[in-house]
Amino acid sequence: MKGISVGLLGMGTVGCGVVKIVENHQDKLIHQIGCPVSVKKALVKDLHKERSVSLQPDLLTLHSEEVLDDPEIDVVIEVMGGVEDTRHYILRALQNKKHVVTANKDLMAVYGSELLAAAAENKCDLFYEASVAGGIPILRSLVDGLASDRITKMMGIVNGTTNFILTKMDNEGSPYLEVLKEAQQLGFAEADPTADVDGLDAARKMAILSTLGFSMNIELDDVHVKGISAISSEDLQYSKKLGYTMKLIGIAHREKEKVEVSVQPTLLPKEHPLANVQNEFNAVYVYGEAVGETMFYGPGAGSLPTATAIVSDLVGVMKNKRLGVNGKSWVTPQFQKKLKEKEEVQAKHFLRIHVKDEVGVLSQITNIFSNKGVSFEKILQLPLKETALSEVVVVTHHASLQLYENLLDELEKLDYVEEIKSSYRVEGEVAV
């Protein structure tokens, strides 16, 4: 069997990781694939940029056709990022009967179904394990490992930047902006952190996960998103006092063939396995009807972890090629998309409000909860120093999102409610 030639689109951190793994683990790759693997060409924007691997000078090119149209290249690995140009490149690679491995969640969340269909049409593989949770082989686990089960819920810490920030804020009591700055200095947050801290990056990954896990075409617009930038030290302190840890959690939940998918700051009982996922690590918790609770934990980003997932996909492509079964692993979604209405999304909530410190206010608030059909598990009232206000903190019982939003609207109208300081979803029960 002749060697396998790979073309890279992009040669940044992850691309360099791919080159390193292909070089360092060549023996293992040959053992599994039955032939050597080499990187033949890499599309870059700058031929002379300093890179963390030494490369043959003729390896790099500024011209996409040298990767996409070279008949000797078997597999294209896309690690350049971006959406529109990248989509066209990948489509062209597939039309040229090249298999594609991508780490691009932005692309897969938006054009995944189009690209997968194009791959199947061209009898090519399109694998994207690295697009969700970096080094954790979560997509394979959903598709193969839990193939016989019916997955009903997935909860994921799928963004390392925000988990790093929340872990730091929680451990050190520091405010959001200070920790964000530190994360930027340490390279855990981008100069423009918007996509991470606003939850968009996590939302893309949840769209991919829920599409696979529920076998239903979930799009990015279907994911309700709320980021972490409004989380205060007080919120974290109250969470802790009540026995919870705050995490940015992607939740995908299926009940009676209808699903909800969201990304939002969420209070988890501190004994919950996801609550112990620290710093930049990622984890995906999967509930199956038969298997029960499982969790997959590991590095969510980074050059080598992400490259591991990419090269493992490459091994998958090559195994399929040896067996002559490329382009056959994709399965069209089994179900029509049905999203839950707000009346059907049941959740518990944490609510913190400032109210006028007057006699009878608490009893009026409890009355409003009761009128609006939201009961509570816990309520605390504490005077706020040097003000005429007091702070009311509530953890509700399960209520529909519709009822809960009606309640918030009502509270906002009230004279004696000074401000709704914060409101977060709560998952699970704290042990008493």
When binding is defined by CB under 8 A, the residue of 154, 228, 304, 353 that contacts a second copy is 304
**Whole-number minimum distance, CB 416 to a second copy, in Å?**
44
Binding residues for a second copy restricted to 251-280, rule: CB under 8 A: 271, 273, 276, 278
- Pick the catalytic residue from 98, 105, 153, 205: 205
For position 88 contacting a second copy by CB under 8 A, the verdict is no
For position 141 contacting a second copy by CB under 8 A, the verdict is yes
Round to whole Å and give the CA distance between 68 and 66.
6
Active site residue 328: no
Binding residues for a second copy restricted to 377-396, rule: CB under 8 A: none
Q: Which is nearer to a second copy, 169 or 314 (CB)?
A: 314
Q: Which is nearer to a second copy, 301 or 394 (CB)?
A: 301
Q: Which is nearer to a second copy, 54 or 148 (CB)?
A: 148
**Whole-number minimum distance, CB 40 to a second copy, in Å?**
18
Q: Which is nearer to a second copy, 235 or 280 (CB)?
A: 280
Q: Which is nearer to a second copy, 290 or 359 (CB)?
A: 290
Binding residues for a second copy restricted to 194-253, rule: CB under 8 A: 215
**Whole-number minimum distance, CB 376 to a second copy, in Å?**
29
Would you tell me which residues interact with a second copy (CB under 8 A)?
17, 20-21, 24-25, 27-29, 31-32, 129, 135-137, 140-141, 144-150, 215, 271, 273, 276, 278, 281, 288-299, 302, 304-305, 307-312, 314-316, 319, 323-325, 328-329, 331, 334
Please identify every residue annotated as catalytic.
205
